[in-house]
A and B are shown apart, each in its own frame.
Chain A
Amino acid sequence: MSINLNESSVGTRENRLGSITGYSGRLSDLVERSHCGTLGNHERCFSQSSTCNSSCGLSQLAGIRDVAVINHAPSGCTAVAPGIATLDRQMATKRGVTTDTVFIGTDMDEQDTVFGATGPLKDIVREIYRRYHPRAIFIGASCVTGIIGEDIDSVVDDLRDEIPVPLAAIHCEGFRSRIWASGFDVADQAVMTSLVKPPKQRSNKVNFKNFFESARDEIIDIFSNFDVEPTFLYVNSTVDELEHLSEAQATISICGTLGTYLGNALEEHYGVPYIRTINPLGVTGFETWLREIGKVIGKSDKVEAYIAQERAKYLPQIEKLKGELEGIRVVLGMGPGYTFEVTRVLEELGMEVVWAAAWHFDPNYDNGAVPPSMDHLLKNGSDFKLSITDQQNYEILNILDHYQPDIYLSRHPGTTVWAIKQGVPALCVTDEYMIFGYRGVLRFGNSVLDTIRNRSFEKNLAARSELPYTDWWYQQDADALMKEEL
């Protein structure tokens, strides 16, 4: 489906891409049915709390420096403000820059719910502009505004002449999607429709979409070999940088789930090529990715030279590590942009994927193609068991109990701890660059070995923790509470 930039809202992953949050089966079946377009979702008759697409989308936007995010919502939605502010400021401090981004609520009450509050909202937007002079203002919707039909678009239109910076309505009602990654798309839609300008020229930049730029220096260094300069998105981005995204030589994303909407939108509307390879995790991933970038920006020679030089340095060390990792049995649970990339690296390093869980699954990206990682896995003979589960903790613990792996890998806060309480060593692969490139493989492999070797913390805690689930539940199959496929 083509990208529609005429609307302020963008369809949810479920509706736009046919994405699902409930499935249990095998890789081969998932990939096959993704190709045929026959993959349906399984609803659950029991679910646990996960994550909101609004906190996802609005925190993406709040990563941009010197903007204002106004969440038109009751106070609970603004409870994310302290976390967002802390992250923004700590990230800016790390870079040695400053940010005056603010995350504001409108504290909607019962009266607003009954009578609507677009009037006060307008005044709040005006006052926030007066206070902070942000470079852009994003007005976020909420469950309340979505249900009562608060017309945020008209507020934006109304204030456009009055407030001299880009304004955008962000349609991120909490109930609209069970997939928080729908929030990434909402943020991208706002950036595309309110900030990005048509290109005047091609620059030497590449757009680099990531989460928290921990490998910023390393990546700048790598790309300097190819005479291009990455612009990291969105944490610490500036509005000026974003206005020029259309002029870049390519868009790259560290995660396919994160990048699909922006990458495809920039390609479709402004001809900026979007790099769609497997991700730069592990050796094969890193090299495949670099070669494609080299091709797109016309620097294949330099890329090959770089690869040769790095291989010489790191491959012997990686080979040595492989011997130690061989045969380690792994269960992992991550966003789909990582699950099906990390499984590749695990198998590359000789580990065994016992079960892979992904927090959702996109059977295709916004260009209509199945995520490249899926075909790559299948082509290389993988066919592990897997489930699609939106962080359903009870399913994960059931799986861990059943398969008793040597290690559990996860990427999201509050998930690994449950594995260790159940006596399974766990490593939180929370940094998106932990397995990036040759050095990342070493970092990751050694962390796995350390985790498995010293089990003191896990054993001490597991011995004294009571698990929250009933014995009945542990006797069921992990997918017992999934309904028929839709």
Chain B
Amino acid sequence: MAKKIKQIAIYGKGGIGKSTTTSNISAALSTMGYKVMQFGCDPKSDSTNTLRGGDYIPTVLDTLREKGRVDARDVIFPGFNDIYCVEAGGPAPGVGCAGRGIITAVTLFRQQKVFEELDLDYVIYDVLGDVVCGGFAMPIREGIAEHVFTVSSADFMSIYAANNLFKGIEKYSNTGGALLGGIIANSINQPYAQEIVDDFAKQTGTQVVSYVPRSVTVTQSELQGKTTIEAFPDSAQAKVYTDLAQRIANHTDSITPAPLDGPALRNWASKWADNLLAIEQSGTPISASVPATPLPTTSSIPASEKAVAV
């Protein structure tokens, strides 16, 4: 009981590679010997797939719907290296209330003292998108996660989502909620992509904890239904995730970010759009170095990977 469970929430816009990153962090932490639970908070319910050979698991909310009650222990499933996998679940698009679903699932676990009884070291919440309503902020409230990391590419929509998350964190920071650990920069293969994320971090008074390059290794792992840590433990990409996990394990002090307000964010984005246009017109071969990657201002995920990750 004396042990303090480290609870971390990882947010990111849908499709940005947040579940991939989260699962690899969980996998890396478990290989370091920690007891980890990954708690998927996304109605798509696929957060833990790569920890379980590509399997979907029964979700907390589906179980509640089907049985009328949930014993939390019945919706925890073992994954790679005995990671405890949980999916909150949620409604089909266009009906019900996904936000309330997250509240319902997390509350059930807390009431039943599951984290304490499993003697966990880490609970990692993998949460969809920006903080659109109170339910999606549930994991960053007081007493749940202490540290939040956001996965973001250099794609502007992804950065908008990160900025929204910062607003949520700022709001809850006054009442003992989670603080920001930093940004996990994902799909970073271009120097300017790193610059964009770095600049955003600077503007919002935060830090980038890791730059994760786009890698075919990830795609190959996911096609096998595995994390990179499991499928290619000796790969360079696995090393990136292990380093990231180590950094998160060592991380202690989070901060309150300073999100940009609407006009400031727009100005910032248009300044960068001008820069990118200048780079493109100056003839720098953007697409030459990474053939599969379209321009960062549209979507940064290649179609092949999307099919696996989504």
So, do A and B actually touch in the complex, CB under 8 Å? yes
The answer to whether A149 touches B68, judged by C-beta atoms less than 8 angstroms apart, is no
Q: Is the CB of B99 within 8 A of A149?
A: yes
Tell me if A158 and B175 are in contact (CB < 8 A): yes
CB of B176 within 8 A of CB of A149, answer no
A9 & B111 in contact (Cβ 8 Å cutoff): yes
Residues of B within 8 A of A6 (CB): 113
Establish whether residues A151 and B172, one from each chain, have CB atoms under 8 Å apart when the complex forms: yes
Does B141 have its Cβ within 8 Å of any Cβ on chain A?
yes
- Interface pair A153/B70, CB less than 8 Å apart: no
User: How far, in whole Å, are A116 and B70 apart by their CA atoms in the complex?
Assistant: 29
Given contacts A15-B70, A147-B99, contact A157 B112 (CB under 8 A): no
Is there contact, CB below 8 Å, between B70 and A486? Answer: no
Are A1's CB and B68's CB within 8 A?
A: no
Q: Which residues of A contact B135 (CB under 8 A)?
A: 147-149
Which chain A positions have C-beta within 8 A of B265?
A: none
CA distance A11 to B104 in the complex (A): 10
Q: What bracket does the count of chain A residues touching chain B fall in?
A: 20 to 34
Tell me whether A11 and B134 are in contact (CB under 8 A). Answer: no
Known A14-B69, A146-B100, A147-B100; contact A157-B175, beta-carbon cutoff 8 A? yes
Residue from A40, A157, A158 within 8 A of B68 (CB atoms)? A40
- Cα–Cα, bound, A482→B69 (Å): 18
Q: Which B residues, 234 to 283, have Cβ-Cβ distances below 8 Å to chain A?
A: none
Q: Is B142 located at the chain interface by the 8 A CB criterion? A: yes
Pairwise interchain contact B66-A151, C-beta atoms closer than 8 A: no
A114 to B135, alpha carbons, bound, how many Å?
Answer: 13
> Bound complex: CA of A40 vs CA of B69, how far in Å?
10
What residues of chain B lie closer than 8 Å to A9, measured between beta carbons? 107, 110-111
> A153 touching B112 by the CB < 8 A rule?
no
When distances are taken between beta carbons in the complex, the residues of chain A under 8 Å from B68 are 14, 20, 40-41, 43, 486
Question: Chain A contacts of B110 at CB under 8 A?
Answer: 7, 9
Question: Which B45-82 residues have a C-beta within 8 angstroms of A?
Answer: 64, 66-70
Looking at the assembled complex, report how far the CB atom of B65 sits from the nearest CB atom of chain A, in whole angstroms.
Answer: 9
Residues of B within 8 A of A171 (CB): 107
Q: Within the assembled complex, what's the spacing in Å between the Cα atoms of A2 and B113? A: 9
Contact of A154 with B by CB under 8 A: yes
State whether the Cβ of A10 lies closer than 8 Å to any Cβ in chain B: yes
Are B176 and A154 interface neighbours, CB within 8 A? yes
Shortest Cβ distance from B142 into A: residue: A154
Tell me the bound Cα distance from A468 to B187 in angstroms: 66
Contact with B along A6-28 (1 / 0, CB 8 A): 11011100111010100000000
Asked if A157 contacts B142 (CB within 8 A), the reply is yes
A153 with B143: CB separation less than 8 A: yes
Residues A4 and B113 in contact, CB atoms below 8 Å apart = yes
Which residues of chain A in 289-322 are interfacial with respect to chain B, using CB atoms and an 8 Å cutoff?
none
Q: Is the beta-carbon distance between B111 and A151 smaller than 8 angstroms?
A: no
Interface size on B, residues (CB 8 A): 30
A366 close to chain B: CB less than 8 A:
no
- The distance from the CB of A145 to the nearest CB of chain B, in whole angstroms, is 8
Contacts of A14 in B (CB 8 A): 68-69
Chain B residues closer than 8 Å to A148, beta-carbon distance? 99, 133-135
- Indicate if B174 sits at the interface (CB-CB under 8 A): yes
Q: Is the CB of B141 within 8 A of A154?
A: yes
Name the one of A16, A40, A151 contacting B134, with C-beta atoms under 8 angstroms.
Answer: A151
Within 8 A of B (CB), among A134-159: 146-151, 153-155, 157-158
Within 8 A of A (CB), among B104-157: 107-108, 110-113, 133-138, 141-143
Tell me, in angstroms, the Cα distance from A41 to B65 when the chains sit together. Answer: 12
B97 within 8 A of A: yes
**Residue B111 contacts which of A7, A146, A157 (CB distance < 8 angstroms)?**
A7
8 A Cβ contacts from B178-212 to A: none
Cβ 8 A contact of A158, one of B108, B111, B174? B174
A136-B176 Cα distance, complex, nearest whole Å: 22
Do the beta carbons of B112 and A11 come within 8 Å of each other?
yes
Q: Does B103 contact A (CB under 8 A)?
A: yes
Of A11, A43, A147, the residue contacting B97 (CB under 8 A) is A147
CA distance A486 to B68 in the complex (A): 7
A413 to B137 Cα, complex, angstroms: 41
A482 CB, nearest partner CB in chain B, Å: 13
Q: Which of B69, B100, B137, B142 contacts A15 (CB under 8 A)?
A: B69
Which of these, A18, A43, A116, A149, contacts B69 with CB under 8 Å? A18
Interface string of B84-110 (1 = CB under 8 A from A): 000000000000010110010001101
Enumerate chain A residues within 8 angstroms of B43, measured Cβ to Cβ: none
Q: How far is the CA of A43 from the CA of B68 in the complex (A)?
A: 9
**A149 and B113 form a contact (CB under 8 A):** no
B142 contacts A153, C-beta separation under 8 Å? yes
Give, as a whole number of angstroms, the nearest-CB distance from B89 to chain A: 16
Say yes or no: is B177 at the interface (Cβ < 8 Å to chain A): yes
Whole-angstrom distance from the CB of A122 to the nearest CB of chain B? 10
Q: Which residue of B lies closest to A175 (CB)?
A: B100
Q: Contacts A2-B113, A4-B111, A147-B99 known; A153 to B66 CB distance under 8 Å?
A: no
Partner of A151, one of B99, B107, B112, B137: B137
Q: Which interface residue of A7, A10, A43, A151 has the most chain B CB atoms within 10 A?
A: A151
Question: What's the Cα separation between A146 and B99 when bound, in Å?
Answer: 10
| Nearest neighbor of B99 in chain A, beta-carbon distance | A149
- Is B112 a contact partner of A4 (Cβ separation < 8 A)? yes
- Whether B138 and A154, one on each chain, are in contact in the complex, defined by CB atoms closer than 8 angstroms, is no
CB A466 to nearest CB in B, in angstroms, measures: 36
Rounded to whole angstroms, the CA-CA distance of A171 and B111 in the bound complex is: 12
Residues of chain A lying within 8 A (CB to CB) of residue B137: 149, 151
> B134–A150 contact, CB under 8 A?
yes
Please give me the residue from chain B that is nearest to A159 by CB atom: B175
Partner of B175, one of A4, A11, A41, A151: A151
Residues of B within 8 A of A20 (CB): 68
Contact partners of A116 in chain B: CB under 8 A: 134
> Which of B99, B111, B135, B176 has the largest number of chain A CB atoms within 10 A?
B111
Q: List 13 A-B contacts (CB under 8 A).
A: A4-B112, A7-B111, A14-B68, A16-B111, A40-B67, A148-B134, A149-B99, A151-B172, A153-B141, A153-B143, A154-B141, A154-B175, A157-B142
14 additional contacts, CB 8 Å, given A43-B68, A149-B100?
Answer: A4-B112, A9-B111, A10-B111, A11-B112, A14-B68, A14-B69, A15-B108, A20-B68, A40-B68, A149-B99, A149-B134, A149-B138, A154-B176, A157-B142
Q: Spell out A's residues near B (CB within 8 Å).
A: 1-2, 4, 6-7, 9-11, 14-16, 18, 20, 40-41, 43, 116, 146-151, 153-155, 157-158, 171, 486
A-B pairs with lowest CB-CB distance, top 8: A149-B134, A154-B175, A149-B135, A15-B69, A11-B111, A486-B68, A148-B134, A41-B68
